[in-house]
Structure 1
């Protein structure tokens, strides 16, 4: 008699599993967004500011231990002055590589224009800045991107050695 109970539950378990699989894949969207991230550390109105560092940071070849808070502009094109603004990248990056310039990125892309206005995408991961392409995880989102997951690929567009300012192309692939 004890073996009959699981057999009676089998159709219910199979129906629940099938319904769950259908609902998880049915309404899911995939979105690709290409935009430009502008990290301005120079001038009278920087968008990236170092807020902490370790004793070793000043002698480190990689800036190891530096903590930077950002509120960087996001634009449609690579020119900050003439490109359409899309929003802001707000968060932090930390110089986490002791032997290589590698940043730990933790930021929200906050959309303030266009069809994604009011939505965010959370990006987190390692950014080995001298690699041609760096991949970071999309770990969440809000608004249109609620329950987001995916990845972002970063490619340096320009980097000014004198000022430290950088423009980075981001291609974000999002499932939501």
Structure 2
């Protein structure tokens, strides 16, 4: 009987020690914070203030393969005088042979507020309205996962547009370097 109690006590102490050493065991529910943001992506296709450039042009009859590099501004409102929150830097590649469908992959680099210097890594198809995947992040947004729902809310075709971005992301609350818990706050 004493051996059974000793074995049970040893098992309990082992589980307790393991739960303190490994975040998986220490967190009975989701160990992440949800972040919601809204902002506007300003795309200027042509003109003196354009913020994209065709770096590879395909044949005149099809656009398939056309590649565009961009450095779009992220704003707090869909107006030219809005505050710049950050930048979206990356490329679009015309990857659809049937429809006009660009595949986009880019970094959203925040320049203002709590997330200054942090990034989201984003990818997905870019119709006028749709959803991109957040597949990672850095600094305070490290290992982010989520989605960005977007829709053009203002613009002139082939000149410029403003896309409203509604972001929902989940950020782990465990520090990768130390295994310790980090407190995140809602925006």
Normalising TM by the smaller chain, what interval?
Answer: 0.7 to 0.9
CA distance in 2, matches of 1:116, 1:94: 29
Structure 1 counterpart of 2:136: 140
Q: Per the alignment, do residues 15 and 34 of structure 1 end up closer, same or farther by CA in structure 2, a change over 3 Å counting?
A: same
Structure 1 residue 13: Cα displacement: 7.9
CA distance in 1, matches of 2:69, 2:15: 49
Structure 1 counterpart of 2:5: none
Structure 1 residue 164: Cα displacement: 3.0
Give the count of matched residue pairs: 160
Structure 1 residue 14: Cα displacement: 10
1:44 and 2:48 aligned:
yes
Structure 1 counterpart of 2:65: 65
- 3-state DSSP class of the match of 2:32? coil
Alignment of 1:11-160 (within 5 A): 16=18, 20-23=24-27, 25=29, 27-55=31-59, 58-60=60-62, 63-79=63-79, 81-127=80-126, 129-130=127-128, 133-160=129-156
Structure 1 residue 53: Cα displacement: 2.3
- Which stretch of the first structure deviates more once superposed, 163-172 or 111-120? 163-172
Structure 1 counterpart of 2:170: 175
- The CA deviation string for residues 75-103 of structure 1, in whole angstroms up to 9 with x for no partner, is 01111x22111010001111111111211
- Which stretch of the first structure deviates more once superposed, 36-45 or 69-78? 36-45
- Which stretch of the first structure deviates more once superposed, 16-25 or 118-127? 16-25
Q: Is the 8 A contact 2:47 2:159 kept in 1?
A: no
TM-score by length of 1: 0.80
Gaps of 5+ in 2: 1-7, 172-187
- Tell me which structure has the larger Cα radius of gyration: 2
- Which stretch of the first structure deviates more once superposed, 152-161 or 102-111? 152-161
TM-score by length of 2: 0.75
